[in-house]
Structures are given as C-alpha cells and as structure tokens.
Structure 1
Amino acid sequence: MKKIFFALSLVVIFTSCTSQTKLGNPEVNPAEIQRKFMDWWTYQYNEIMLSRDFVALDSNSKEITKEAFLKVLSEGNYIPIRLESDKDVFYYKLFKIEPTSDTSIKASIAETAFNEIQNYKKEGEPFPEFSFKDLNDNLITNENLKGKIVVVKCWYIHCAACVKEFPDVNQLASKYKDRKDIVFLSLAEDSPEQLKPFLIRKPLSYAVVPNMKTYMNLTLQLNAFPTHFIINKKGFIVKVLSDYKALEVALVKVSEE
C-alpha cells in the first residue's frame, strides 16, 4: 500500500512540475539597456507592448495585476523587461532604474505607463455613443454597428507615428476583408479639405471620419496618438492599444471568440 502511495506521489509531483512554465533570464541585460536612451527606446518599441495581455511580475518575480504593474512604471523608478519563457506567453518583470541610466528613460517610461493606465481603465466600458459621417457621407452610429466587431484608429495628419503605420493597418484590414462582421473605422482630427488630398498620397483602408478632435479629446479622453480601440459586438471596449503590433495580436483573439 505504501509503495502505491509513493508511486502516485511521484506522478503528482512530476506532473505539477512539468506543467509549470519555466522562466528564463531577462531578454536583455537590465543594466546595459539603460545606459543609452536610444538602446532602451529601440528595445521598448520592438519588444515591450504594454497594451497587450501579459503576465506582470514585480521585482521579486511575484505575479501582480497589470494595473499594479503599470502604476509602478508610471512612478518612474522601474523599467519593464521581458523574460525568456518556454511558452508563447509574455512575461514582463520590473527592474530598478539604475542611478547611472539616461535620465530620459525615466521620463519616457513614466509617460508611456501613465497613458497605458488610462487606456486599460477604458476596457470593459461601453464605447461612447456616436453618430458620424465619413468622408463618403456614410452615416455611422452605434445602432448600425451593432452585431459587428469595430476596430477604431484615432489619429491626425501631423502625427508621424500615426501615418507611419498606415501600410501595416491597411494590411490588417485586407486580412479581414472577407469578414462582414468586422468594420475598420478611423477618427481623424483634421477637416475634409485637409484629409482628402492627404489620403490620395497616403491611402488608408479604413472609413475615415473627419473633425473628430473634440470627440477624441473630451469624450474618449485620449492623451496619445495613435490609439486603437477594439469594440465587441455588444458595443463594449475590449482593448485599447497604442500600436498596430499589439492591435494585430488582440484582433486575432477577439475575432475568434
């Protein structure tokens, strides 16, 4: 009887150990990446997507909520680094900002995290009521978009980052062109007179709604551009994202639900 119990215990221990995710070292050296602002900025831009879903770890590798993680970052004393993992999951850990690090890094992280907190708090809320006309004079309202997943890009002509991602978001829209239940909509600050010649030079595959500055600033309370919303078929905000890479990942998940 004791032998059987011992054998079962080994099986349980082995199973529980193998089911755990093995976390490795930081992807980059936390001290080295802080020495030059451009090194940090490049790493953050290419590898850290605070808009997306990730497992948040404090400086002692204890799991915490995403909101708590972002709050710590907004205080400007830590940087986020992704850990190597044996699973296709993002694990971000907090590392202390070194006294010798570039001072611009601290300000950059704090600003980014503050904006991400505001975006994260919008998730789960109903998207504010709207009644827009796009550049083709099509009426777009909450009512006529019911039952559809709506992807919203908020931007303006003189936002370099907004325009730079046009080819990528156009490709994303093309990927879902056969999905009649997914709508791509963009809200722009600029007037029709400004947008029409601009979009001839820089095409955007979304329906474009002009004169949205007041709505985006006051109703949506946006602090940074571009900002992307994914709204579910019931009209609730599922994700608020700051770049197309995070948008692409999130849309795959939402479109399969």
Structure 2
Amino acid sequence: MQKSINLILLFLIFNVSFAQSKYETPEVDPIQIQKTYTEWSAYQSKNIILSRDFIALDSNSKEISKESFLNQLANENFIPIRLKSEDSKYYYQLFQIQPNSDTSIKATINQIGFDAHKNFEMEGTPFPKFSFKDLNGNLITNESMKGKIIVIKCWYIHCTPCIKEFPQVNKLADEYKDRKDILFISLAEDSPEKLKAFLTKRPLKYSVVPNLKVYMNEALQLNSFPTHFILNKDGMIAKVLPNFESLEVALEKESKL
C-alpha cells in the first residue's frame, strides 16, 4: 500500500514539474531591459508580436485570456516579456514598468496594447460591406470574395513602413500564386493617378483599390498603417495584423485550414 502511494506521489511530482518546465524564466531581464527607451523598443519590436497566438500570463505567472492581457497592456503599468520555453509555443508574461523608467515606455506600450486589443476584438467579426473597383477596373465585393481566403493590405503612398515591406509582401503573393482560393488585395488612400505613377516605380503584386481613406477611417477605424487583414472563406475576419512578419505566420496557418 505504501509503495503504491509513493508511486502516485512521484507521478504527481513529475507531472507538475513537467507542466512547470514548459515555460521558465524571462528571456531578458525585465528590469534591465527598461534602462533606456531604445533598449526596450529594440527588444519589443523584434521579440513581441501581440497579433500571434500566445499563452498569456499575468504578473503573478497565472494564465489569463489574451483579451485580458492586451487590456492590461493598454490601460495599466506593464510591459510584456517572452519566457524561455521547452516547447514550440509562445509564452508572454506581464512585468511591472519600473518607477524610474523612461515615461515613453509606458506611453508607447499603452498605445501598442490599445491597437492590439482593438485588432483582437475585430477578429471573428464580418468584414464591413464593400464594393470596390481596383486600378484595372475589376469589381470586388463581399459576395464575389466568398469561398476564398482574402489577404488585405491597408496603406498609403507616404507611409514609409508600408512601402518598406513591399518586397516581402510581393514575395508572399508569389508563394501563393498557384492557390486560386487565396487573393491579395490592397486598399490605398491615394488617387488612381498618384497610385499608377507610384506603382510604376514600386510595383505591388496585389490588386490595388484607390481612394479608400474614408472607408479605412470610418468602416475599419484604422489609425495605424500598414494594417493587414486575413478573411476566411466565410468573409469573417480571421486575423488583424500590424506587419509582414505576423502576416506570414498567420497566412500559413489559415491556408492549411
């Protein structure tokens, strides 16, 4: 009897240890990384992608919902840090912003958290009704897009980050060119004349729809560019993404569904 109890205890200890070992310590020192805004910003931009799927932990290492995690980033006094892990999952934990840290860190992370939370809330909702004509005169509507995965890039000519990722999104479009069920569309603020002149020098391998500043401001309520959407085959928003890196990962996942 005693031997059986000991075996059960060992089994429980092993499983608790295994569960805990999935994520361990922060990959960087949460205090040291806040010494300067530049140091923190470099880490944040390279290592924290809030649009990806991740397991969220609060400041006490308790697992919480992604929505709660993003809400705390937007409204409270935390930064996210990735934890070292033994599996392929991503673990992000909230850590207190230090009292002597640059105030720009809190201001920036609150804005990043706000944008990420807003994007997260759009996921799982229908994409707003549209009926557009692209630069080639092709009509694009919600109904004509049903049954296809739609990748949408929102941008404008004078948006430096939008233009910087052109080579990457063009390469992505090339990778999926044989998938007839995946379409790449871009919504641009600018006039047809300006876009045609610009795209002669900087080609974009998406269908380009002009004059959509009002639609993007009012229907999509965008305040950050570029913004990427992935719509599933039912016309629902599967993902809202701030950059190419997160788009590439999300599209690979969606394309396999």
TM-score calculated relative to the size of structure 1: 0.94
Question: For 1:78 and 1:8, how far apart are their aligned partners in 2?
Answer: 40
Where does residue 83 of structure 1 map in the other structure?
83
How many residues end up aligned between the 2 structures?
257
Question: For 1:12 and 1:40, how far apart are their aligned partners in 2?
Answer: 39
| Alpha carbons 1:146, 1:235 under 8 Å: kept | yes
CA gap of 1:27–1:9, structure 2 versus 1, over 3 A, is closer
Unpaired runs of 5+ residues, structure 1, are: none
Question: For 1:195 and 1:108, how far apart are their aligned partners in 2?
Answer: 32
CA gap of 1:10–1:96, structure 2 versus 1, over 3 A, is closer
Question: Deviation string for 1:109-147 (max 9, x for gaps)?
Answer: 011111111111111101111111111111111111110
Question: For 1:136 and 1:125, how far apart are their aligned partners in 2?
Answer: 29
Question: For 1:253 and 1:21, how far apart are their aligned partners in 2?
Answer: 26
Question: For 2:5 and 2:140, how far apart are their aligned partners in 1?
Answer: 66
Q: After superposition, where does 1:183-198 map in structure 2 within 5 Å?
A: 183-198=183-198
Question: For 2:39 and 2:8, how far apart are their aligned partners in 1?
Answer: 51
Where does residue 103 of structure 1 map in the other structure?
103
- Report the alpha carbon displacement of residue 69 of structure 1 after superposing the two structures with TM: 0.7
- Report the alpha carbon displacement of residue 14 of structure 1 after superposing the two structures with TM: 3.9
**SS, match of residue 247 in structure 1:** helix
TM-score calculated relative to the size of structure 2: 0.94
Where does residue 226 of structure 1 map in the other structure?
226
- Report the alpha carbon displacement of residue 84 of structure 1 after superposing the two structures with TM: 0.6
Where does residue 214 of structure 1 map in the other structure?
214
Question: For 2:156 and 2:77, how far apart are their aligned partners in 1?
Answer: 32
Q: After superposition, where does 1:80-159 map in structure 2 within 5 Å?
A: 80-159=80-159
- 2:243 matched to 1:243? yes
**SS, match of residue 178 in structure 1:** coil
| Alpha carbons 1:76, 1:109 under 8 Å: kept | no
| Alpha carbons 1:229, 1:239 under 8 Å: kept | yes
Moved over 2 A (4+): 1-22
CA gap of 1:6–1:137, structure 2 versus 1, over 3 A, is same
Question: For 1:62 and 1:149, how far apart are their aligned partners in 2?
Answer: 36
Where does residue 202 of structure 1 map in the other structure?
202
**SS, match of residue 87 in structure 2:** coil
Unpaired runs of 5+ residues, structure 2, are: none
Question: For 2:12 and 2:77, how far apart are their aligned partners in 1?
Answer: 41
